[in-house]
Structure 1
Amino acid sequence: MKAIQYTRIGAEPEVTEIETPTPGPGEVLLKVTAAGVCHSDDFIMSLPEEQYVYGLPLTLGHEGAGTVVELGEGATGIEVGTNVVVYGPWGCGTCWQCAQGAENYCPRAAELGIRPPGLGAPGALAEYMIVDSPRHLVPIGDLDPVTTVPLTDAGLTPYHAIKRSLPKLRGGSTAVVIGSGGLGHVAIELLRHLSPARVVALDVSEEKLEFARSVGAHEAVLSDASAIETVRKITGPGGAALVLDFVGYQPTIDIAMGVAGTASDVTIVGLGDGVAHAKVGFGQTPFEATVTAPYWGSRSELIELIDLAHQGIFDIAVERFALDDGVEAYRRLAAGTLRGRAVIVP
Structure 2
Amino acid sequence: MKAFRFVEWQQPGRLRDVPVPEPGPGEVLVKVGGAGACHSDLHLLEAPAGAKAFGLPFTLGHENAGWVETMGPGATGFMPGDPVIVYGPWGCGLCMNCRQGMENYCQTPGKPSPGGLGGTDGGMAEYLLVPATRYLIPLGDLDPREAAPLTDAGLTSYHAVKRSLHLLRPGSTAVVIGAGGLGQMAIQVLKALASATTVVAVDTSADKLETATSMGADEALISGDDAVARIKDITKGHGAELVLDLVGVDPTLTMAAQVSRVLGHLTIVGLGNAALPVNFHGPAQECSVAAPFWGTIPELLDVINLAQAGKVKMLVEHFTLDDAAHAYQLLHDGKIKGRAVITPNG
TM-score (norm 1): 0.96
- Which residue number in structure 2 is paired with residue 212 of structure 1? 212
| CA deviation after TM superposition for structure 1 residue 231, in Å | 2.0
Equivalent pair of 2:14/2:325 in contact (CA under 8 Å) = yes
Residue 163 of structure 1: aligned partner: 162
CA distance, structure 2, for counterparts of residue 247 and residue 307 of structure 1? 27
Aligned: 1:123 with 2:154: no
1:82/1:139 contact within 8 Å kept = yes
Q: Corresponding residue for 1:87?
A: 87
What is the percent sequence identity of the aligned residues? 50
Q: In 2, are the aligned partners of 1:2 and 1:127 still within 8 Å (CA)?
A: yes
Q: How does the TM-score come out when normalised to structure 2?
A: 0.96
Residue 182 of structure 2 aligns with an amino acid whose one-letter code is: L
Write the distance in 2 (CA, Å) between the matches of 1:228 and 1:215: 22
1:41 aligns with 2:41: yes
Report the alpha carbon displacement of residue 10 of structure 1 after superposing the two structures with TM.
1.4
Q: Which of these residues, 288, 302, 315, is aligned with residue 300 of structure 2? A: 302
What root-mean-square deviation, in Å, do the aligned CA atoms of Structure 1 and Structure 2 show? Answer: 1.2
Q: Post-superposition shift, 1:135?
A: 0.3
Question: Aligned residue for 1:63?
Answer: 63
CA distance in structure 1 between the partners assigned to 2:286 and 2:224 by the alignment: 27
8 Å Cα contact 1:90-1:109 kept in structure 2: no
CA distance in 1 between partners of 2:218 and 2:66 (Å)? 36
- Give the direction of change, closer, same or farther, for the CA distance of 1:71–1:100 in structure 2 (3 Å limit): same
Name the SS for the 2:153 alignment partner: coil
Structure 1 residue aligned with 2:151: 152
- Distance in 2 between the 1:102 and 1:114 partners? 10
Instruction: Extract unaligned runs of 5+ from structure 1.
Output: none
**In 2: Cα distance, 1:165 partner to 1:177 partner:** 13
C-alpha contact (below 8 Å) 1:174/1:235 kept by paired residues: yes
Does the alignment pair 1:201 with 2:192?
no
Write the distance in 1 (CA, Å) between the matches of 2:50 and 2:161: 35
Alignment coverage as a number of residue pairs = 342
User: What whole-Å deviation, never above 9, does each CA across 1:260-290 have from its counterpart, x for those lacking one?
Assistant: 1111100000000x2x112223222212210
Q: 2:113 corresponds to which letter in structure 1?
A: R
Cα distance, 1:109 vs structure 2: 4.8
Structure 2 CA distance for aligned equivalents of residues 182 and 150 of structure 1: 9
**Residue 314 of structure 1, CA deviation:** 1.8
Work out whether 1:290 is the aligned partner of 2:302.
no
Q: Is the 8 A contact 1:143 1:310 kept in 2?
A: yes
Cα deviation code 1:20-58 (max 9, x no counterpart): 111112111011111100000001111111203332112
Post-superposition CA distance 1:70-111 (Å, at most 9, x none) = 11122223222211000001111111101110000011051x
Paired with 2:293 and 2:313, the residues of 1 have a C-alpha distance of 23
Would the alpha carbon gap of residues 183 and 192 (structure 1) be closer, same or farther in structure 2, given more than 3 Å must change? same
Contact 1:109–1:115 (8 Å) recurs in 2: no
Query: Which string of whole-angstrom CA distances, capped at 9 and with x for unpartnered residues, describes residues 151-188 of structure 1?
Result: 10000001001011011011111100000101100000
1:134 corresponds to: 133
Q: Deviations over 1:187-212 (max 9, x none)?
A: 00111111011000000022121111
Q: Deviations over 1:281-322 (max 9, x none)?
A: 322221221000000000000011111111111232111101
Taking the aligned partners of 2:76 and 2:324, their CA distance within structure 1 comes to 33
The within-5 A match list for 1:1-346 is 1-110=1-110, 115-119=113-117, 120-195=119-194, 196-272=196-272, 274=273, 276-346=274-344
Answer yes or no: is the 8 Å Cα contact 1:4–1:16 preserved in 2.
Answer: yes
Q: Distance in 2 between matches of 1:163 and 1:188?
A: 12
Tell me how far apart the structure 2 counterparts of residues 205 and 342 of structure 1 sit (CA, whole Å).
18
Q: How far apart in 1 are the matches of 2:74 and 2:313?
A: 38
